Structure 1
Amino acid sequence: MARQIRGDIQGLRAVAVAVVIAAHAGVVLLPGGFVGVDVFFVVSGYLISSLLYREVLITGEVSIGQFWARRARRILPAATLVTVVTVLASLAYMSLIDARQTVVDATWASVFAANIHFAQEGVSYFASDISHSPFQHYWSLAVEEQFYLVWPLMLFGVLMLTRLATGRNPQRLPRATVAVLLVVVIVVSLGWSIHQTVASPTTAYFSTFTRAWELGIGALIALVPTSAIKRLPRRDLEAMAAIGAAAVITACLVITSATPFPGIAAILPVGGTALLLLAGHAHGVTAVGRVLSTEPFRIVGDWSYSLYLWHWPCLVIPQAALGRTLSAFEAALAILVTVTLSAYSYQYVEMPFRNGRPAHRLPRRRALVLYPASASLVLLVAGGAWLWTGVQANDNDNPAITVDGQTGTPQVDTVALVRASVNAARSRQGIPGQTSPSLIDIKKSVADVGECDYQQNVRKLCQVGVEDGTKTLVLIGDSHARAWIPAFDLINQAGDWKAYYFVKPQCTAAHVPIAALGSDERFTDCSDFQDWVMEQVRYLRPDLVVVSSSPPVNGVFDGDRRVATTEGIIPLLRVGYDELFLELQSAAEEVVLLRDVPKNADDPADCLTTGDPSLGDCMFTPVPRSQILGDVAVESASAIGVRVVDPTPWLCYQGECPIVIGNTLSYRDSDHITTEYAANLWATLGRAMRMIPTNGIPDPTNPDEAVAGGSEG
């Protein structure tokens, strides 16, 4: 076991951080550069376990407090500095909404639970948009810190059990027992990783349980006696190092964002790193090791922690400020800033807490105070940032747009209010001071689906609406259909309907095989869901089926070929809608297509909460692709005899779509209407759907009218 960090390991760290930064900066030759994180995991498992094993050999025990204190001095100072600076930079350069979310992310990062947070949020590490969190890279720090928390306790437990079994303190490391424990952890974790990579890719990527085997591999290598490696012929060590280096390089070149990961694919970079560590485990220097031990590699390896911390916010925050991905020159400039910041933080933050005056003043267990101190500082900054964003979001007294003094009720003319809102935007009026939802909460405006969240592959029926309603409604579609649920909830109450909402995000309603988001693979869960939905419709025999769906985002399949062009999608989508409507007509009394809403090219939330925008700055014209593919559904429905309800006049006027209608925010993102605006449209939609009378209906949003209506019925 090495008594100091080997030069080849520092070089390996340099390679790992370099490929991660290159991949994140958009270097096309290294699509799999993100596997550098897996290299870090193996190296961390190796180094940390080497320290723990050596302590057992010297003292016969593990000092958990001292171990955690060393980790605190090593990790917390630089991580805290980057966290605080990132929060402040986010306030300065990001929209209020993104900055507020950054505050939440920083809080999770400060307690080393970022991986849990991003998994719960359903964040895609490989998302192609620019809305990444500046703290997304902290997920790997969280995994390592969770490992540092648990692994010493497990090793301590092994020593205690050995002591109980033998009746005395172990004089040497119980290698066989530790090896068995590590093999079990590795096998179980790898198996879980392979399973979860297929079953729940987002969770699999961020989960400590799916990554524990990578750290365990490093810990297992550290357990190998150096004498066993010394007995190997020189040519075998050279071959191990060469094969290991080739495996890591190959992983960076051939693994892509479309590769299911970690799972089986992670074996390539992890195995390569393991071979490189083994080849130098007995202090022998291979040809690869000599290259990795050269001064440039060692310097980058020394800075690798700071480089990793700084690179992501240096890339993400400028993207958010510019509202687009960085050009090659801009990305290079961001990397230059990263290197500069890393050099300073390594010299003036990392090193002092490791070997300088702060390290001497915080010896051993006293350094544990860094954990609460770091969290407290971050929470203090985050709390202030949270309050500041809330104040900024409501810092004006601009009036709402009205028609005859009304901003949006069942009695107001919806089309007239939209027209007035467009005219207000054209005249560059300011954003109303009080909006529904509030600007800061716009992203939270998502309809609740209760227990029947079909995004999670639930297979059950959930009846809503009037429990013993005389008529049955079925709503079918994707997240765009889900956005209409608040309107249908009110329509159900006013019109005596019981309802079932079969909505699955990203699953286009048309019976056509679609590609999963961000992948070249089929979205098989969608096809399975469509089959199940048709079974339920045939069973329910509803009075009305409403179809509402967006076009496929990532293309459709023609046989085994993915088709992504608009021209190629049109005929396949038309066939899919024809099949859907014909099947529904045979199982329901009536079928209605609720045409898809117009799509914005940009996220209106960014416009509304960046700088000092007017209504005109955030008004948009619909994206042509969405309009064209929306016409396909309309043409199919019209040809088959399915009635079409077009909500465009309730959202746009003369080809322009305001983001604020009255005092209500109409869209929560580029293509989903807010729950509040959907609820405002309940009467307009209900009449268009012929689900409620054209007049004289009780208003379920008004308790007095709802009670009166119920008593009259």
Structure 2
Amino acid sequence: MANELRGDIQGLRAVAVLVVIAAHAGVPFLRGGFVGVDVFFVISGYLIAGLLYREVLLTGQVSIGAFWARRARRILPAATLVTVVTVLLSLAWMSLVDAREVVVDALWACAFAANIRFAQQGVDYFATIDGVGPSPLQHYWSLGAEEQFYLAWPLLLTLCLVVTALLAKAPDRRAERLPRRAVLTMLAALTLASLLWSVHATLTSPATAYFSTLTRAWELGVGAMVALLPPPFLRRLTRLSLEIMAVTGVVVLLAACMLISEDTPFPGIAAVLPVAATAMLIVAGGPADVPGRRTRTSRVLAVAPMRVVGDWSYSLYLWHWPAFVLAPIAVGRALTGFEKGLTVLVVITLSAYTYRFVEQPFRAGRPAHRLSARRRALSLYPASAALVAVTAAGAWWWTGFQGGEHGDNPPITVAGAPIDGLQDSTEALVRASVAAARAERAVPSNLTPDLLNLRSSIADVGDCDYEDNVRSLCPHGDGDQTVVVVGDSHARAWIPAFDRIVAAGDWTAYYLVKPQCTAAHVTIASLGSDQPFTDCTDFQRWVVDQVDALHPELVVVASSPPVNGVFEGDKRRTAVGDIVPLLRGGYDDLFRQLGRYAGRVALIRDVPKSPDDPATCLTSGNPSLGDCMFEPVERSTVLGDVAVDSAYASGIEVVDPTPWLCYQGECPTVIGGTLSYRDTDHITTEYAANLWAELGNALTMGLPS
């Protein structure tokens, strides 16, 4: 049975948090150290399941309120402290836009639902994408998953009690009518279902699978099953078998830390390694009531320094991630190895003090005695939420005040700009905006969209969100002519322009767009792994089938280059020189197939990509327009040329939006009074809508003059 006082368990916690910190610090031979989180999950399942089952044996029931009260004293004080401090430091060091994102993350974190938020956002746990760094509260996803388990497990155990009592027709003898076999059977079924779902989801939706409670529940379930192993079975294990099991557990866990990497599909089947290793190490600790059965490994894990680090492990986990995320932002560059070492020392110091003055008092000190009553302890939940909410409200107001719509800086106009007779066209305004940026003019006030809400400027796709593997058609408009827009999120960014074209002309539009799914008929890698993005391949085939069925007058293709490489057979190619011929063949095939079923096919050249996030630039310090103007990323430009070359060779029309965004190789992030980009490579919905007439005329869609 689980015993919370086992020293080897504390030592195992120390190992888990140390390898997590090492991985996040960039230690090269421990790239897979993030599996320490999986170790924590198994330990948590082991301790909590054993605790509750013992309660059932002693009292015949589960006191859900008392259990949640204990969890409140254990989890909330330190988590709340770190959340509040992280929000305040984010205000001091991050851009206003990024700080606002942290404020929202804090609210999700205090509700123990951070994993849901990051899964919904499709966050890639392993990567910094498009210049936008990870949230300093991203690690709260694991607390969310654990707390959701803590919510479900006592309820499941209570349900098992009730069902057993009803079947036995003896509700007054529930403790005797709940054999281990019944609970283990329930756990085994749920654990297996979660594991199978984890394997499936990791392959089909890796970005969301990493954070999902459903893909992680089996890890806690394994720990719970270990806690319920019958004592007679444990006593029959020989000393030699326990020693072998312990050594095997160490080897497997070390292999997981060294061999698993950010390129490994995870959790999925790969997570079996750290989970199985942890289970073996826990079992090898030996039954607590049989002296002299401890293995050498368990004795090493239980030495005093390891127990101390294990005691601090919760605080170490809470502090290390915001330290690694915020420190580079504070100094304005990546940390050196020496600076990372200093950061770790700061984290250790903060953790020691947090354990001593925050965690321990709420466990065994005066606050714990005052909160000994269940109702008082449960009040920690609303108290924590209120403190975080007040901090978030203040932070939200502060970012709004700092980046608010005050000031009288005028928008950019064409007056006095080098427009060369272009008059009041979009190209003239772009040239004027470049000239204003070169002159280091102040950023205009009252921008559209609102600067602090820039990242939410994403086109609405209605009911047909193909990111969620929808397979139906949603028409927009009721005109006699049909236009189908095909591509990824870059095609989606043009939807506001097409919506206005549809409203002004005689068109019905279908937006067959799937984020991260390049339009070219190539097999690309999933964003969060080195595995093929099979959903994308399936979607590409489905799109061709729909174009065949619709026989539209016009198909418009808009797509970015693949972000994470292209497969040639079973090999993933990431170098530009290797991608170009594969991508060219994919576009040739796309245009050939579309040309069979559509009256016309046109390509919108991919928009220039910025090396830095414009939202971060425009809300950091007091930038001028020139500080945030950019030159396009060369790799994106080269790969964008591939689609253009294929289109010309296939007799496909090409619309180049570059003059609507850039002039003489420079691209302003503010054009007139409108923000042109919401991130490094997506135009805003507002600016796309402004371009509807230019786009419609370039595509010769017969718009009224």
In the superposition, the TM-score normalised over structure 2's length comes to: 0.94
Q: In the TM superposition, what is the alpha-carbon distance from 1:321 to its structure 2 partner?
A: 4.2
Residue by residue over 1:443-485, the C-alpha shift from the partner in whole angstroms, topping out at 9 and shown as x without a partner, is 11111111222222222222213x0x23221222221111111
Where does the alignment leave 5 or more consecutive residues of structure 1 unmatched? 698-713
Map of 1:524 onto structure 2: 534
**1:67 and 2:67 are equivalent in the alignment:** yes
**1:158 and 2:160 are equivalent in the alignment:** yes
CA distance in 1, matches of 2:36, 2:280: 15
CA distance in 2, matches of 1:565, 1:195: 29
Return 551-560 or 682-691, whichever deviates more: 551-560
Map of 1:116 onto structure 2: 116
Residue by residue over 1:384-420, the C-alpha shift from the partner in whole angstroms, topping out at 9 and shown as x without a partner, is 11121122222433111123699xxx99311111111
Q: How many residues align?
A: 690
**1:225 and 2:230 are equivalent in the alignment:** yes
Return 154-163 or 527-536, whichever deviates more: 154-163
Q: Is the 8 A contact 2:204 2:534 kept in 1?
A: no
Map of 2:266 onto structure 1: 261
Corresponding residue to 1:448 among 449, 453, 460: 460
Q: Is the 8 A contact 1:44 1:218 kept in 2?
A: yes
CA distance in 1, matches of 2:416, 2:685: 23
Kindly report which structure 2 residues correspond to 1:497-508, keeping only aligned pairs within 5 A, or say none. Answer: 497-508=507-518
Map of 1:551 onto structure 2: 561
Q: In the TM superposition, what is the alpha-carbon distance from 1:589 to its structure 2 partner?
A: 2.1
Residues 1:582 and 1:239: Cα distance change in structure 2 (over 3 Å): same
| SS in structure 2 at match of 1:657 | coil
| SS in structure 1 at match of 2:31 | coil
Map of 1:7 onto structure 2: 7
Corresponding residue to 1:169 among 162, 166, 173: 173
CA distance in 2, matches of 1:292, 1:503: 52
**1:601 and 2:611 are equivalent in the alignment:** yes
Residues 1:176 and 1:610: Cα distance change in structure 2 (over 3 Å): same
Return 576-585 or 14-23, whichever deviates more: 576-585
Q: Is the 8 A contact 1:551 1:630 kept in 2?
A: yes
Kindly report which structure 2 residues correspond to 1:291-302, keeping only aligned pairs within 5 A, or say none. Answer: 291-302=300-311
| SS in structure 1 at match of 2:262 | coil
**1:421 and 2:425 are equivalent in the alignment:** no
Residues 1:191 and 1:510: Cα distance change in structure 2 (over 3 Å): closer
Return 300-309 or 333-342, whichever deviates more: 333-342
| SS in structure 1 at match of 2:172 | coil
Corresponding residue to 1:313 among 304, 322, 334: 322
CA distance in 1, matches of 2:107, 2:51: 30
Q: In the TM superposition, what is the alpha-carbon distance from 1:181 to its structure 2 partner?
A: 2.2
Residues 1:422 and 1:3: Cα distance change in structure 2 (over 3 Å): closer
CA distance in 2, matches of 1:560, 1:162: 51
Map of 1:401 onto structure 2: 412
Residues 1:592 and 1:163: Cα distance change in structure 2 (over 3 Å): closer
Q: In the TM superposition, what is the alpha-carbon distance from 1:185 to its structure 2 partner?
A: 2.1
Q: Is the 8 A contact 2:206 2:528 kept in 1?
A: no
Map of 1:329 onto structure 2: 338
Map of 1:702 onto structure 2: none
Q: In the TM superposition, what is the alpha-carbon distance from 1:86 to its structure 2 partner?
A: 0.6
Residue by residue over 1:233-284, the C-alpha shift from the partner in whole angstroms, topping out at 9 and shown as x without a partner, is 1101111111122221111112222222222222221111111111124133
Residues 1:101 and 1:116: Cα distance change in structure 2 (over 3 Å): same
Return 456-465 or 482-491, whichever deviates more: 456-465
Q: Is the 8 A contact 1:2 1:281 kept in 2?
A: no
| SS in structure 2 at match of 1:474 | strand
Q: Is the 8 A contact 2:614 2:677 kept in 1?
A: yes
Q: In the TM superposition, what is the alpha-carbon distance from 1:183 to its structure 2 partner?
A: 2.0
Q: In the TM superposition, what is the alpha-carbon distance from 1:692 to its structure 2 partner?
A: 3.2
Residue by residue over 1:577-628, the C-alpha shift from the partner in whole angstroms, topping out at 9 and shown as x without a partner, is 2222233333222222211111101111100111111101000011111222
Q: Is the 8 A contact 1:544 1:590 kept in 2?
A: yes
Corresponding residue to 1:579 among 574, 580, 589: 589
Q: Is the 8 A contact 1:109 1:135 kept in 2?
A: yes
**1:146 and 2:155 are equivalent in the alignment:** no
Return 136-145 or 302-311, whichever deviates more: 136-145
Q: In the TM superposition, what is the alpha-carbon distance from 1:231 to its structure 2 partner?
A: 2.8
Q: Is the 8 A contact 1:73 1:370 kept in 2?
A: yes
Map of 1:457 onto structure 2: 469
Q: Is the 8 A contact 2:565 2:573 kept in 1?
A: yes
**1:665 and 2:675 are equivalent in the alignment:** yes
Q: In the TM superposition, what is the alpha-carbon distance from 1:324 to its structure 2 partner?
A: 5.3
Opposite residue 511 of structure 2, the aligned amino acid is: Y
Q: In the TM superposition, what is the alpha-carbon distance from 1:8 to its structure 2 partner?
A: 0.6
Residue by residue over 1:48-102, the C-alpha shift from the partner in whole angstroms, topping out at 9 and shown as x without a partner, is 2222233333334333222222111111110110010011111111111111111
**1:358 and 2:362 are equivalent in the alignment:** no
Residue by residue over 1:675-701, the C-alpha shift from the partner in whole angstroms, topping out at 9 and shown as x without a partner, is 1001111111212221135xx63xxxx
Identity of aligned residues (%): 65
Residue by residue over 1:140-197, the C-alpha shift from the partner in whole angstroms, topping out at 9 and shown as x without a partner, is 1112112222222332333344455324234556323222222222222222222322
CA distance in 1, matches of 2:259, 2:303: 27
CA distance in 2, matches of 1:181, 1:571: 53
| SS in structure 1 at match of 2:173 | coil
Q: In the TM superposition, what is the alpha-carbon distance from 1:347 to its structure 2 partner?
A: 0.8
Q: Is the 8 A contact 1:30 1:253 kept in 2?
A: yes
CA distance in 2, matches of 1:494, 1:650: 21
Residues 1:543 and 1:109: Cα distance change in structure 2 (over 3 Å): same
Kindly report which structure 2 residues correspond to 1:30-179, keeping only aligned pairs within 5 A, or say none. Answer: 30-129=30-129, 131-164=133-166, 165=168, 166-170=170-174, 172=176, 174-179=179-184
Q: In the TM superposition, what is the alpha-carbon distance from 1:357 to its structure 2 partner?
A: 1.1
Opposite residue 56 of structure 2, the aligned amino acid is: V
Corresponding residue to 2:685 among 661, 675, 685: 675
Opposite residue 226 of structure 1, the aligned amino acid is: P
Opposite residue 230 of structure 2, the aligned amino acid is: P
Residues 1:282 and 1:619: Cα distance change in structure 2 (over 3 Å): same
Return 515-524 or 238-247, whichever deviates more: 515-524
CA distance in 1, matches of 2:646, 2:186: 61
Opposite residue 299 of structure 1, the aligned amino acid is: V
CA distance in 2, matches of 1:669, 1:684: 22
Return 190-199 or 134-143, whichever deviates more: 190-199
Q: Is the 8 A contact 1:494 1:692 kept in 2?
A: no
Map of 2:448 onto structure 1: 436
Opposite residue 267 of structure 2, the aligned amino acid is: P
Q: Is the 8 A contact 1:96 1:610 kept in 2?
A: yes
Opposite residue 402 of structure 1, the aligned amino acid is: T
Corresponding residue to 1:619 among 623, 629, 650: 629
Return 314-323 or 451-460, whichever deviates more: 314-323
Residues 1:357 and 1:670: Cα distance change in structure 2 (over 3 Å): same
**1:345 and 2:354 are equivalent in the alignment:** yes
Corresponding residue to 1:187 among 165, 188, 192: 192
Return 56-65 or 67-76, whichever deviates more: 56-65
Q: Is the 8 A contact 2:265 2:530 kept in 1?
A: no
CA distance in 2, matches of 1:691, 1:158: 65
Opposite residue 480 of structure 1, the aligned amino acid is: H
Q: Is the 8 A contact 1:65 1:364 kept in 2?
A: no
Q: Is the 8 A contact 2:72 2:378 kept in 1?
A: yes
Q: In the TM superposition, what is the alpha-carbon distance from 1:319 to its structure 2 partner?
A: 3.5
Map of 1:644 onto structure 2: 654
**1:201 and 2:206 are equivalent in the alignment:** yes
Residues 1:239 and 1:414: Cα distance change in structure 2 (over 3 Å): same
| SS in structure 2 at match of 1:168 | helix
Residue by residue over 1:652-709, the C-alpha shift from the partner in whole angstroms, topping out at 9 and shown as x without a partner, is 111111000000000011111111001111111212221135xx63xxxxxxxxxxxx
Opposite residue 682 of structure 1, the aligned amino acid is: W
| SS in structure 1 at match of 2:683 | coil
Q: Is the 8 A contact 1:425 1:616 kept in 2?
A: yes
Q: Is the 8 A contact 1:205 1:262 kept in 2?
A: yes
Q: Is the 8 A contact 2:526 2:533 kept in 1?
A: yes
